[in-house]
Amino acid sequence: MEKQIINTTNAPAPIGPYNQAVKAGSMLFISGQIALNAETGKLEQDDVIVETHRVMQNLRNILTEAGMDFSDVVKSTIFITDMNDFSQINEVYGKYFSGYFPARETVQVAGLPRGVNVEISMIAIK
């Protein structure tokens, strides 16, 4: 199985020893994305709604670079620091999909990189 590294300047550069995504055959594994704006290098954390939109835009940009879109996503993992934010995050997340939603879990964690409130990773297949 051929493995291809996917990186785009339209999403934040990795801040550690990993890639934005790895395509293995027809599957794409996207690393967790946070609300870092690739253009400005700044976190977008006005509120959890703004933050989640930026995360989803970063994910969309990586999917696009791989020749995919949200309709190709089969699995998402959402990490949040406060389960009280779940309904707002869920509402924003849902706006990026049409038709069938992927499988998903949402997990509350003690902390996330750079003090963000939400991080989302995805698996897609085409």
Torsion from C-alpha of 44, 49, 55, 60, nearest 10 degrees: -120
Residue 69 has pLDDT above 90, yes or no: yes
> Is the pTM here over 0.85, yes or no?
yes
pLDDT averaged over the chain? 97
Q: How many degrees, rounded to 5, is the angle at CA 44 between CA 52 and CA 64? A: 60
Residue 1: predicted pLDDT? 80
Residue 31: predicted pLDDT? 98
Residue 68: predicted pLDDT? 98
Residue 15 has pLDDT above 90, yes or no: no
Per the CB < 8 A criterion, the answer to whether 112 and 34 are in contact is yes
How far, in Å, are 33, 70, 108, 110 from residue 80 at the CA level?
12, 21, 5, 8
- Model confidence at 43, in pLDDT bands (50, 70, 90)? very high
What value does the mean pLDDT take over residues 101-105?
97
**Environment class of residue 56 by beta-carbon count within 10 Å: exposed (0-12), middle (13-18) or buried (19+)?**
buried
Element spanning 32, H or E: strand 27-33
Residue 99: predicted pLDDT? 82
Per the CB < 8 A criterion, the answer to whether 31 and 17 are in contact is no
**How confident is the model over 72-85, as pLDDT tens digits?**
999 999 999 999 99
Greater pLDDT, 2 or 84 = 84
Q: Which residue has the tokens 């785009």?
A: 8
Alpha-carbon distance of 104 to 122, in angstroms, equals 9
Query: Going by CATH, does the domain composed of 3-125 fall within 3.90.550.10?
Result: no
What value does the mean pLDDT take over residues 104-117?
97
| Amino acid at residue number 118 | V
Residue 103: predicted pLDDT? 98
